Amino acid sequence: AQSVTQPDIHITVSEGASLELRCNYSYGATPYLFWYVQSPGQGLQLLLKYFSGDTLVQGIKGFEAEFKRSQSSFNLRKPSVHWSDAAEYFCAVGAPRSGGGADGLTFGKGTHLIIQP
């Protein structure tokens, strides 16, 4: 079974500074990888996804993530954060099915991002 680790429970960043949120996964092959964002009282919004191909993926809101197979990592980055980026960020992994199709995702525990003015 797959698992996801987000080692940072909280991260505080100054507005305008760069951001990197860490995500490590455990899976026997290359999984499908996702980053979701959750604002207080809201559902989860998909930021970006990696299925295959280029290991640097671009997402919405200026976010990007890089898949590193050797490190089993999929870290999320943003060059300059805005106060509106304050939220909970979840990394998720999905196991590809041989016959195609979807499966349930395994989520990390999340990283709470705080933006300082």
The answer to whether residue 74 forms part of the interface with another protein (CB under 8 A) is no
Cα(57)–Cα(29) distance, rounded to whole angstroms?
19
Q: Which x/- pattern over 84-113 shows residues binding another protein (rule: CB under 8 A)?
A: ------x---x-xx--xxxxxxxxxxx---
Count CB-CB contacts under 10 A for residue 29.
8
Least CB distance to another protein at residue 49 (A): 6
Nearest 10 degrees: Cα torsion 41, 116, 78, 26: -60
Nearest 5 degrees, angle CA 72-CA 89-CA 85? 130
Residue entry with tokens 């295959």: 52
Cα(7)–Cα(5) distance, rounded to whole angstroms?
6
The answer to whether residue 32 forms part of the interface with another protein (CB under 8 A) is yes
Question: Tokens standing for 108?
Answer: 């990390």
- Of the candidates 44, 62, 72, 75, which one interacts with another protein according to CB under 8 A? 44
Least CB distance to another protein at residue 15 (A): 27
The answer to whether residue 10 forms part of the interface with another protein (CB under 8 A) is no
The site for another protein, by CB under 8 A, has a size of 25
Find out whether 110 and 89 touch, Cβ atoms under 8 Å: yes
Identify residues 46-65 at the interface with another protein (CB under 8 A). Answer: 46, 49, 51
Residues that bind another protein (CB under 8 A): 32, 34, 36, 42-46, 49, 51, 90, 94, 96-97, 100-110
